[in-house]
């Protein structure tokens, strides 16, 4: 699954650690999601969507 | 401090506390295991009542360790839980398959000695370590 987390994070000048803190996960998990190696659960995807003020589909796209 | 930073700090502190609890329970379990294994011979000359008590205490502390491990796992985020779960599944599979084959080796006279449960424990520990390392590498 592709996602725009890295771009959205960069737009806000956030580090992976900062995003991890906001999402209440580890920095390694944020890194794995950004690289498309780990697909987040629906609750975590909703949390990311709420954090960036977007819909899930605007952040995560099925490949 | 923002709410999310506070929550994250709380979570990290909770994880640290859970890890410490797991360490204490594991240490206690090892001590009670040593008592149950050696004290009957060295301390009370195989008297039945203290031996039964030592085994029951060991079992009780073992269940405490299991609950501490469960709490430790619940403190992980979802990717860490998946890595842990995958490593556990691998360990269970390897332990079951290799354990039964190892037992069979003696029954069919392919090895001259009796299989030891400690060998299986070592294999399971090594398998779990390999599983955890492989999981972390996979999502790196």
- Tokens encoding B75: 């403190």
Per-residue pLDDT reduced to its tens digit, B58-76: 999 999 999 999 999 999 9
All structural domains of chain B with their residue ranges: 1-75, 76-140
Q: Please give, rounded to a whole number of angstroms, the shortest distance from the CA of A17 to a CA of chain B.
A: 11
Q: Do A26 and B77 touch (CB under 8 A)?
A: yes
CB pairs under 8 A between A and B: 40
State both tokens at B5.
Answer: 């930073």
Q: What is the mean pLDDT of residues B67-89?
A: 95
**What topology does CATH give the domain A2-54?**
434 Repressor (Amino-terminal Domain) (1.10.260)
**Closest residue on chain B to A18 (Cα):** B5
Going by pLDDT thresholds of 50, 70 and 90, the confidence category of residue B2 is low
By the CB < 8 Å criterion, does B138 face chain A?
A: yes
What distance in Å separates residue A37's CA from the closest CA in chain B? 6
Residue A7 confidence (pLDDT) above 90: yes
What ipTM score was computed for the predicted complex, to two decimals? Answer: 0.91
């Amino acid at each position: 699954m592709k996602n725009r987390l890295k771009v959205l994070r960069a737009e806000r000048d956030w580090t992976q650690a900062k995003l991890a803190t906001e999402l209440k996960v580890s920095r390694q998990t944020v890194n794995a999601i950004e690289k498309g190696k780990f697909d987040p659960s629906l609750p975590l995807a909703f949390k990311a969507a709420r954090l960036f003020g977007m819909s899930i589909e605007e952040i995560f796209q099925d490949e | 401090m923002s709410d999310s930073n506070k929550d994250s700090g709380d979570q990290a502190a909770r994880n640290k506390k859970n890890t410490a609890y797991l360490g204490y329970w594991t240490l206690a379990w090892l001590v009670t295991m040593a008592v149950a294994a050696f004290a009957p011979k060295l301390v009370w000359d195989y008297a039945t009542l203290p031996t039964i008590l030592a085994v029951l205490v060991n079992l009780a502390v073992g269940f405490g360790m299991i609950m501490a491990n469960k709490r430790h796992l619940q403190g992980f985020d979802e990717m860490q839980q998946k890595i842990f779960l995958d490593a556990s599944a691998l360990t269970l599979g390897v332990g079951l398959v290799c354990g039964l084959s190892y037992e069979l080796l003696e029954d069919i006279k392919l090895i001259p000695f009796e299989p030891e449960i400690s060998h299986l424990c070592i294999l399971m520990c090594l398998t779990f370590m390999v599983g955890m390392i492989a999981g972390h590498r996979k999502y790196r």
